[in-house]
């Protein structure tokens, strides 16, 4: 099953037989006080820096979130998407919990976007899925509902099935559904990662869906987070994870993903691995 995202100049395909899709997480004001202040003042210049760094790092898709309190988020998100598309041809993941902002972003986006995100709550799906259908986008869905985050992989599978049925009822192609199997921090629960891995496996086996998650969640609150994230992603890939919202600027993490592509057979004959190595050599001959 292939989930295809596009911009006017580029197509990115997510699939279990495709290289892992890196969704760069950086264009997000959460936890970035100076960035928030600039956005409130109408200054979008930091976005140029974030785009350049993530493209150079190896991102395939860019997540764009403009959730800043005391701003007009719909207008801000639309402006940010237009700016990003003027800088790069990478497809965009439009990230907002505000219905009006998602619609504003989808209305200006050129191509097929990925929407981040919807949950298994009935009222939330009734708001977001018509937008996805209207604009022909793909959608990330989280298998949690009114009861909160499920504690077991089986419960996450059951809510995924509910989401699948809702997607089908709106006549949205199933390949346009990407499941986020919910990565929680291992610092709070030693079993958290094992539950996520089991959920990934079960969802792949039953539905064959593409999956993504917030990779940095697993290491929250722990030291040496890059090392933990770099270890987690190849394991998750081996269970069926096909993309992640992650730090595309950190070579340690990006290299672990690209190495796993080669070792798991989604980078046939190492073409991407060798090409990346040669590009790095050309950029820095003394390294």
Cα–Cα dist 62/125, whole Å: 24
| Residue pLDDT, tens place only, 15-59 | 999 999 999 999 999 999 999 999 999 999 999 999 999 999 999
Overall average pLDDT of the 220-227 stretch: 96
Cα–Cα dist 52/11, whole Å: 19
With beta carbons less than 8 A apart as the criterion, state whether 255 and 277 touch. no
Cα–Cα dist 138/13, whole Å: 12
Cα–Cα dist 71/57, whole Å: 30
Write down the domain spans for the chain.
3-283
| Residue pLDDT, tens place only, 81-122 | 999 999 999 999 999 999 999 999 999 999 999 999 999 999
Query: According to the model, what pLDDT value does residue 287 have?
Result: 65
Helix or strand holding residue 82 (H, E): helix 73-87
Six-digit token string for 86: 């003027």
SS (HEC) of 110-149: CCECEEEEEECCHHHHHHHHHHHHHHCCEEEEECCECCEC
With beta carbons less than 8 A apart as the criterion, state whether 149 and 196 touch. no
Phi–psi pair at 167, nearest 5 degrees:
-60, -45
C-alpha neighbours within 13 Å on the C-beta side of residue 61:
34
- What does DSSP assign to residue 151? S
pTM of the predicted structure, to 2 decimals: 0.96
| Residue pLDDT, tens place only, 114-172 | 999 999 999 999 999 999 999 999 999 999 999 899 999 999 999 999 999 999 999 99
State how far Cα 284 lies from the chain centre. Answer: 29
Helix residue ranges, H only, 189-264: 192-207, 225-239, 251-264
Six-digit token string for 37: 């202040």
- 3-283: CATH topology: TIM Barrel (3.20.20)
Say how many C-beta atoms besides its own lie within 10 A of residue 186's C-beta. 20
Distances (CA, A) of 192 to 86, 220, 237: 40, 12, 16
């Amino acid at each position: 099953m292939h989930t295809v995202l596009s911009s006017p100049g580029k197509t990115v395909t997510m699939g279990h037989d495709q290289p892992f899709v890196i969704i760069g997480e950086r264009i997000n004001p959460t936890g970035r006080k100076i960035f928030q202040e600039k956005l409130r003042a109408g200054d979008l210049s930091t976005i140029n820096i974030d785009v350049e760094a993530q493209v150079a790092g190896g991102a395939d898709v860019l997540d764009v979130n403009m959730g800043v309190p005391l701003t007009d988020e719909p207008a801000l998100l639309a402006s940010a998407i237009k700016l990003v598309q003027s800088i790069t041809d990478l497809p965009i993941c439009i990230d907002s919990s505000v219905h009006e902002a998602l619609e504003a972003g989808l209305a200006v986006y050129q191509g097929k976007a990925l929407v981040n995100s919807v949950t298994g709550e009935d009222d939330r799906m009734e708001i977001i899925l018509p937008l996805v259908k209207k604009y022909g986008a793909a959608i990330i869905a989280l298998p949690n509902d009114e009861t909160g985050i499920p504690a077991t992989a089986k419960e996450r599978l059951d809510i995924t099935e509910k989401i699948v049925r809702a997607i089908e009822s709106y006549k949205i192609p199933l390949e346009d559904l990407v499941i986020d199997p919910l990565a929680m921090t291992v610092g709070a629960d030693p079993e958290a990662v094992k539950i996520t891995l089991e959920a990934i496996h079960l969802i792949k086996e039953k539905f064959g869906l593409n999956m993504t998650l917030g990779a940095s969640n697993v290491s929250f609150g722990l030291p040496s987070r890059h090392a933990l994230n770099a270890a987690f992603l190849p394991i998750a890939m081996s269970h069926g994870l096909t993309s992640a919202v992650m730090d595309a600027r950190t070579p340690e993490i990006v290299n672990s993903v690209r190495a796993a592509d080669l070792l798991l057979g989604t980078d046939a004959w190492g073409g991407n691995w060798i090409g990346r190595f040669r590009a790095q050599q050309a950029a820095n001959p003394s390294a």
